Amino acid sequence: MPDPRGHALVTGASSGIGIAIAREYARRGVPLVLTARRAERLQALAAELRAQVKVHVVPADLADPAAPQALADAIAARGLPVRILVNNAGYGVPGRYLKNDWRTHAAFLQVMVGAVSELTWRLLPAIRDSGDGRILNVASFAALVPSADGQTLYAPAKAFMVRFSESLALENADAGLHATALCPGFTHSEFHDVTGTRAMMSKLPQWMWLDADDVARAGIDAVERGEVVVVPGAVYKLLRFATKHLPDRFILRRMAKNSSRIRSTE
């Protein structure tokens, strides 16, 4: 049966884990608000999912500092109550820090930190008022281990999402709100095509890769349980256990040795 209590707003819903999360919520009967830059992709996904639930499309480019308020205003103007917020929009900037100009880094931080913070702030009152609100922040396994060479701001931005989720979970438990940081490892999606690292990533063994649908289910199940940080996949659970018990200097040495296999370090 469709969920009458409110919509799930999914950012970055035009590809990868975002599509998988939207499909999983539709399967569970939750009406959707989909946003991303690529309106035509959103419309195609909406047409697919409308056989299951009501779907609304509100395109937005979260690299624009004005976008979070405009998105929240558009949702309010349509009278769409949001009970679930999925902060999924994101990407990587390959290469070392000085390879790219500051405008590139500023846009990245706006999407990964600024928009996440502001959109959550603007929608949080309604999510709290729902009585069983959910916030699912799509972070990364990279947030839980020492950073690699290349994509210098990626792991710090994802680490912010983990700490942000922890604070939100504590501050809003009184309202029945659950906040979760989803921390997947390497996941089959368009992410590495966008960053131009597909050929490099294809050299990694298959056991290191996760399926986007499995990641989506793990995240949604975790936020329903009230689990604050979730790492999908047995391999990554084991790796997290190992990294928590090994000295950082040892892991950093391994990162220095292997970064060129998984990151553009030029």
Pairing mode, strands 229-230 and 178-182: parallel
What's the burial of 6, exposed, middle or buried (CB within 10 Å: 0-12/13-18/19+)? buried
Q: E strand or H helix at 104, and its extent?
A: helix 102-109
Give the amino acid at 6. Answer: G
| 137/180 Cα distance (integer angstroms) | 6
| 71/111 Cα distance (integer angstroms) | 13
The tokens describing 109, both together, are 């931080």
| 120/211 Cα distance (integer angstroms) | 27
Q: Which of 133, 157, 141, 91 is nearest to 251 (CA)?
A: 141
Contact of 33 with 7, CB cutoff 8 Å: yes
Buried b (16+ CB within 10 A) or exposed e, 107-145: bbbbbbbbbbebbbebbbebbeebeebbbbbbbbbbbbb
236 is catalytic: no
Which residue out of 25, 91, 154, 236 is catalytically annotated? 154
Neighbours of 213 (CB within 10 A): 16
Contact of 115 with 62, CB cutoff 8 Å: yes
Catalytic amino acids?
Answer: 154
